Structure 1
């Protein structure tokens, strides 16, 4: 499969699946949790509170991994595995762009200083379970 076709498949999966697993590093071990993801191209964003352990973990070690796409419809569901570098993004423009009214249970609005995004810049992207094929890596 060409790199362009592979990238298109990856973009389709990450654009259509908002719920996924975020893994950060805590005490040299993986720490996983479900998160909601948004994307701009291959760059992923997930909203969080500034005063969470996720933010502290990212400050200590920016390495993270994400799983997106598996829907439990069967063993052949395609999904992506993304490893990358994570930063904290406090951009008001981004906070407005991805604001959802459901966030009001955690934040006072887009201008709430505790409302931030983890921004994941992919370094390795793998797509798995595509028509029974072996995992494929997108060349970035």
Structure 2
């Protein structure tokens, strides 16, 4: 199976994702639910007032990690990406998910923002760590 298809098997759809941003010179990691797409972008929602938004405004460099978590032997990916903050209502409506309602009520909520992470490099670790391959944009 081609590398891109193997990666898509891990990232497609919503997944708990470890997201690392920079707080000054120090990395900060938190979990977010991000949806992975075939164009190797990852999209999630957060509050405009969150620390990660402030950190992304200072540095767009991020690192993501996704593992299915079903079996210890399952493949996982490590991702180098650029993070963007989208506050416009059109983008917020495009990515709106009913699960966001409990946190944001509506897409028009001014504290609701969409984060889009565009992968520049994805390291794929195969089942049982049998292989390591790198996809680059």
Q: Where on the TM-score scale, by shorter chain, does this alignment land: which range?
A: 0.7 to 0.9
Considering only aligned residues, what root-mean-square deviation do their CA atoms show, in Å? 1.8
Aligned partner of 1:81 in structure 2 is 78
Task: Please tell me whether residue 123 in structure 1 is matched to residue 114 in structure 2.
Answer: no
Task: Using the TM superposition, give the Cα deviation of residue 114 of structure 1 relative to its aligned residue in structure 2, in angstroms.
Answer: 1.3
Correspondence list, 1:1-140, <5 A: 5-16=2-13, 18-40=15-37, 41-71=39-69, 73-74=71-72, 76-140=73-137
How far apart, in 1, do the equivalents of 2:83 and 2:21 lie? 9
Query: Larger % of strand: which?
Result: 2
Task: Using the TM superposition, give the Cα deviation of residue 65 of structure 1 relative to its aligned residue in structure 2, in angstroms.
Answer: 0.6
Tell me the matched-pair count: 136
* Structure 2 unaligned spans of 5+: none
Task: Using the TM superposition, give the Cα deviation of residue 16 of structure 1 relative to its aligned residue in structure 2, in angstroms.
Answer: 4.5
TM-score between both structures, scaled by the size of structure 2? 0.88
Q: 1:17 to 1:99 in 2, by over 3 A?
A: closer
How far apart, in 2, do the equivalents of 1:39 and 1:24 lie? 18
* Structure 1 unaligned spans of 5+: none
How far apart, in 1, do the equivalents of 2:14 and 2:77 lie? 10
